Amino acid sequence: MDIGKEVTGGIAPALDEKYEEIEHLEGHAFSDKRLVRKIDIHVIPILIILFTFSLIDRNIIATARVAGMGEALGLTGNRYSIALLVLFPLYILIELPTNFILRKISVKAFFFGMVFCWGTVAMCHAFVNNFRQLVVLRILLGLFEGSFQPVCIYIVSSWYTRYETQRRLAFWFALGQLLAAFSGILSYGLSTLNGRGGLDGWQWIYLVPGLITVALSVPVWFLVCEFPENAKWLKQDELARLRGWLATDRAEILEERMTVGRAVAGLRDWKVWVLASLLFFVTAAAYTMSFFTPTILSSLGFSVALSQILVTPPYIAACLANIATGLIADKVHMRSPFIIGHVVLTMTGFGLIGWGPNTGAKMTGIYFSIIGSQCAIPSVYTFLANNVVGTTKRQIAVPLQTVWGGIGGIAGSLYFRQQDYPKYRPGLYASFTSLSICLILTSSIALYFQRQNKKADKEGKILEGFEGFRYTL
């Protein structure tokens, strides 16, 4: 049918006007999607690369240990656990003040100094001669790496609306973990250089990644992104649109500055403490697997080479699961069901590691534990970010959350003790206990949020002082 012959009088102009309106709206939709992609390209990739090397430099001690460092430095008894533990006190203490000063200085300068310093310290691990020197370097590594994760989470959550955040944090976290997992294969390759240059294989395992990290500090200066209001690659109309999105989504004011009063007000909110504390439980499980998977594999009868190489496949699976979780969680606008599901998967994995009837069952347990704990972490990050309203409140809530994550690292260092090898039953019991508490807290606060949302819908209650805001369950 020829539509042009069917329309007469004022109908044709009305149709033309309608099509122009549709094209106008589609143009805005395309433009907004293009802006989001532009933000993705500028913000996420460099953070993934830096996260990868922060994980490698922090956790490569596990593969270095089985490659000969344990014998060379006399890491007997609880010494290995102590070497893991000492990274975290300064790691924790540096997190809270970092976000106070971050908006007052250049993000580029901050990242440059931090990456250069932690890369130098990581490289120096190759030249330690005794346990005491190792402890000193681990303390310094914690000092320089401590502020990295909260800064990354805060930067990502400053650029995206609530239901765009988890997939970005999932990509950042999962791809960083995946690339870092290849450190097992890298460590095996470097360990074959044993004797070259007068260095043992475990020394090469530290030297090469440390040098790469130091070299990365140069491109960091050019590639790390500032906060939206200081990003020179944003046009004025793009910044205006971004401001509108964030203000509508969670009352975000880009220029809002942190003060002591605002920090205290944020810390007085009990919900911030509960949401932040969830990271302790899932991080403890994740660090346990990061630090002890090579040792667990060795206890199953695998050679040193296979114990290093077999670390990588579970993290590949975890990466895929993490990205899928982020995409689905953002689509359905929910967080707590994914946290609960992944915590249950982690507990199932620990059960198989401890009580599996054969090697296959224990290997399945390693996969479940790594997948579950790795996928729970971005969900916990986003659960807090979605339910904390305002720039300054989130500025205090995010580092408080990562402080709890650092405490989880301490717990993960202590759960599996050398004297409990090879079954590690006390560590498994401690893991079950902490993960059970996580399930209770997550379920409880999700039910509270659900009740508050119903009051807002039925009684008109204003949540978090922001009309129209609803908690993310």
- Confidence at residue 252, expressed as pLDDT on a 0 to 100 scale: 57
- Confidence at residue 15, expressed as pLDDT on a 0 to 100 scale: 33
> 30: pLDDT confidence band, cut at 50, 70 and 90?
very low
CATH homologous superfamily for the domain 42-452: MFS general substrate transporter like domains (1.20.1250.20)
The C-alpha atoms of residue 60 and residue 333 are separated, in whole angstroms, by 36
106-120, 149-163, 327-341, 353-367, range with the lowest pLDDT: 149-163
**Chain centre distance of CA 156:** 11
What one-character DSSP code corresponds to residue 382? H
What DSSP element (H or E) covers 267? helix 260-267
116-120, 164-168, 375-379, range with the lowest pLDDT: 164-168
> 5: pLDDT confidence band, cut at 50, 70 and 90?
very low
Measured at the alpha carbon of residue 265, what is the angle toward residues 262 and 267, in degrees to the nearest 5?
110
- Confidence at residue 22, expressed as pLDDT on a 0 to 100 scale: 34
* Residue 469: count of CB within 10 angstroms of its CB: 18
- Confidence at residue 153, expressed as pLDDT on a 0 to 100 scale: 82
- In this predicted structure, the answer to whether residue 12 has a pLDDT above a threshold of 50 is no
Put simply, whether the predicted model's pTM sits higher than 0.85 gets the answer no
- In this predicted structure, the answer to whether residue 29 has a pLDDT above a threshold of 50 is no
Closest among 189, 83, 40 to 410, alpha carbons compared:
83
The C-alpha atoms of residue 423 and residue 305 are separated, in whole angstroms, by 21
One-letter amino acid for residue 162 of the chain: R
More confident residue, 201 or 242: 201
> 259: pLDDT confidence band, cut at 50, 70 and 90?
low
> 123: pLDDT confidence band, cut at 50, 70 and 90?
very high
More confident residue, 340 or 397: 340
Cβ atoms of 47 and 152 within 8 Å: the answer is: yes
- In this predicted structure, the answer to whether residue 457 has a pLDDT above a threshold of 60 is yes
- In this predicted structure, the answer to whether residue 209 has a pLDDT above a threshold of 90 is yes
Q: Dig out the tokens for 374 from the structure.
A: 């790795």
- Confidence at residue 290, expressed as pLDDT on a 0 to 100 scale: 77
User: What integer best gives the mean pLDDT of the chain?
Assistant: 83
Q: Dig out the tokens for 322 from the structure.
A: 């993490």
Mean pLDDT of 319-324: 90
- Confidence at residue 135, expressed as pLDDT on a 0 to 100 scale: 94
- Confidence at residue 7, expressed as pLDDT on a 0 to 100 scale: 36
Q: Dig out the tokens for 330 from the structure.
A: 């953002």
- Confidence at residue 260, expressed as pLDDT on a 0 to 100 scale: 62
58-62, 244-248, 283-287, range with the lowest pLDDT: 244-248
- In this predicted structure, the answer to whether residue 217 has a pLDDT above a threshold of 80 is yes
**422-449: per-residue pLDDT in tens?**
777 888 888 899 999 999 999 999 999 9
The C-alpha atoms of residue 395 and residue 389 are separated, in whole angstroms, by 10
Mean pLDDT of 147-164: 83
- Confidence at residue 254, expressed as pLDDT on a 0 to 100 scale: 52
- In this predicted structure, the answer to whether residue 6 has a pLDDT above a threshold of 60 is no
